[in-house]
Structure 1
């Protein structure tokens, strides 16, 4: 989730930003100010493959960082909706986080089912400028239906990012769905114009997807856009907005 991650080929497990609430909840612990954001994704120009999401994160001085997320995917024929609550805490160079989500899957003519997923993650600066992240989504293998033992996907991912100097970020990541082969991903981000403008690119081996994007920082507002292309299916578009609230006021 988030256009920054999408532009980096979804190498998101080490990123400490607002969208960490979805991508690796441990990353929220690095935030020092409250943030809120909105995200829209459209796959292949098809309305039914549209995701919209709202997120908010609130850091506290003593009790960690808390986040609330809402999203919806699909149309009137098939849809997935969720509400999630995450918490993370920073201990020195390490950060840990956990998240619980309630999912509702609806199919026209068949009704809807609900399930609860539990996820955990961690991040650490292993040596100066090299960061490690790991995330396990749906550890409890939440079941949607007894028929064919239908469950929500369980996904594990881990990766590294390296910042050789302030303006450049390199990231690699491996993601494994328990029922499918592993996906290797990599991304690159370069910042321009006094770090107000960022250019990004990435790729995924499993989906043969190339991604590109741009980010713009305008005072407290961060605007990111990304698009990705797969040979068989076409182009996907991603747009996200994030606002940082100043301490002691908006």
Structure 2
């Protein structure tokens, strides 16, 4: 029975990914594609099949039911192009079968507004152009049967571009499946299913949300080792793959590395293009505290640094 169920989940995942419309068009609210888990970032954001800490809310909320104690986690990311963003997550298990979480994400950036004449020539500056984004969400994770957990997020999204503001509401739905191989788990997440509530100008310019389907594989052959693979399909972009590894050197210290296959998006024949798509990081556990650090390369666009502080109680 478990074998048949595992096969059904994998076949459903493959058919869902292959059936996506390649002409779905571009989407707005693109900041929804940014993930806020430092542990996952160090592993190339290959985390859908693992999802066993507070960062699960951003990848696979069904994984939250693996958390046994209350947890709070704060994350800060120094993104490229002077963009600053971060998140805070609170996880509360009601039982070993039912867990809830609340989370918030923010992103801010500003740039000097330049003025030009009718010919396009620079004539001076005029204040700053600002961007700010906010997400507030709620997660539920539920144990269904021995081989299956179910999770859902509901999110309120607000984006401000200078003096214009738009908002939306969206859902994420996910499952986490324990296969017949005790060392292998499979996760599946469909993100950003929703609609716009208010518009930057008027309803004629409604922005599509960046819906994404991700399937993740978590292979755990040793107590100290996780090998991770995510297959990612945004409805408005091509497939991409994400590879990750975590190795626990000590009970209180682990190393991580990862790679994103869409690294060519950030290559422009510069000195740093060979590092594009690579990520590295580490995790430190001290009593009830967790500190995670990650660095990710966008080639010649620069590096993104991310740090998280977590507390279990």
Offset of residue 142 of structure 1: 4.3
Offset of residue 161 of structure 1: 1.1
Question: Which segment is superposed worse, 130-139 or 58-67?
Answer: 58-67
Offset of residue 43 of structure 1: 1.4
Q: Going by fraction, where is strand more abundant, 1 or 2?
A: 1
2:54 counterpart residue number: 18
Query: Deviation digits for residues 195-244 of structure 1, max 9, x if unmatched?
Result: 21110000001134100000001011111000011223111001011110
Structure 2, unaligned stretches of length 5 or more? 1-35, 111-129, 264-275
Asked if the contact 2:65–2:97 (Cα under 8 Å) also holds between the matched residues in 1, the reply is no
Structure 1, unaligned stretches of length 5 or more? 246-250
Separation in structure 1 between the aligned mates of residue 198 and residue 298 of structure 2, nearest angstrom: 30
Asked if the contact 2:42–2:296 (Cα under 8 Å) also holds between the matched residues in 1, the reply is yes
Asked if the contact 1:135–1:158 (Cα under 8 Å) also holds between the matched residues in 2, the reply is yes
Separation in structure 2 between the aligned mates of residue 160 and residue 62 of structure 1, nearest angstrom: 23
Q: Which one of 176, 186, 190 corresponds to residue 233 of structure 2?
A: 176
1:78 aligns with 2:135: no
Separation in structure 2 between the aligned mates of residue 13 and residue 159 of structure 1, nearest angstrom: 5
Offset of residue 42 of structure 1: 1.1
Q: Which one of 83, 89, 92 corresponds to residue 58 of structure 1?
A: 92
Query: Deviation digits for residues 67-108 of structure 1, max 9, x if unmatched?
Result: 000111123511110100010111323110111000001111
Question: Residues 133, 142 of structure 1: CA spacing in aligned structure 2 closer, same or farther, 3 A cutoff?
Answer: farther
Asked if the contact 2:213–2:232 (Cα under 8 Å) also holds between the matched residues in 1, the reply is yes
1:131 aligns with 2:188: no
Q: Going by fraction, where is helix more abundant, 1 or 2?
A: 2
Answer with 1 or 2: which has the greater Rg: 2
Query: Deviation digits for residues 136-179 of structure 1, max 9, x if unmatched?
Result: 11123546643443122111100101111100110001111100
Question: Residues 173, 62 of structure 1: CA spacing in aligned structure 2 closer, same or farther, 3 A cutoff?
Answer: closer
2:261 counterpart residue number: 205
Separation in structure 2 between the aligned mates of residue 229 and residue 202 of structure 1, nearest angstrom: 11
Question: Residues 139, 116 of structure 1: CA spacing in aligned structure 2 closer, same or farther, 3 A cutoff?
Answer: same
